[in-house]
Amino acid sequence: MEQQEKALKYQELEKRLKAVLEGETDVIAKMANMAAEIHGTFGFWWTGFYRVSGGELILGPFQGPLACMHIAYGRGVCGSAWKQDSTLVVPDVELFPGHIACSSESRSEIVVPVHAADGSVSAVLDIDSEKLATFDSTDAEYLQRLVELI
């Protein structure tokens, strides 16, 4: 997808999500609709959230095939994004040390931390693609804006 087309899709998605989530206070409900909208807009392989709970990441609302339900702090792409408190763009998951293969179809991935009001990481948004190098700085920039709506 061309950069401009991608940016436009994200801008429209952001408008829709702002309207849909406005006034909603339930985090799970917001995550569920955000996962559905992102997934439907781009047709990714897997789109969903893991929530920080009891010192680990636990599977939250998602779209796509079955996934691992528990991820330890610092493990895989999700646990590393949580530990580093930064967005991780992985162009080839096989080259990421410790990548957790929930599905053998997944080839590239982006993980974006979600922050609580106190600034701590409360969850991560994880998106997987069955194609290599799907995600770049445009995805990172827009997805970081989207998760602020959570």
The contact set with ligand SME (CB under 6 A) reads: 46, 67-68, 71, 76-78, 99-100, 102, 106, 109, 126, 128
77 vs 143 by CB, closer to ligand SME: 77
Pairing of strands 88-90, 46-53: unpaired
Contact between 128 and 68 (Cβ < 8 Å) = no
Min. distance of Cβ 14 from ligand SME in angstroms? 23
Closest residue to ligand SME in the complex (CB): 76
- The rounded distance, in Å, linking the Cα atoms of 12 and 29 is 20
Contact between 108 and 91 (Cβ < 8 Å) = yes
Quick one: tokens of 31? 């995550």
H-helix segments, 25-136: 27-42, 76-84
Min. distance of Cβ 59 from ligand SME in angstroms? 8
52 vs 71 by CB, closer to ligand SME: 71
Min. distance of Cβ 145 from ligand SME in angstroms? 22
21 vs 111 by CB, closer to ligand SME: 111
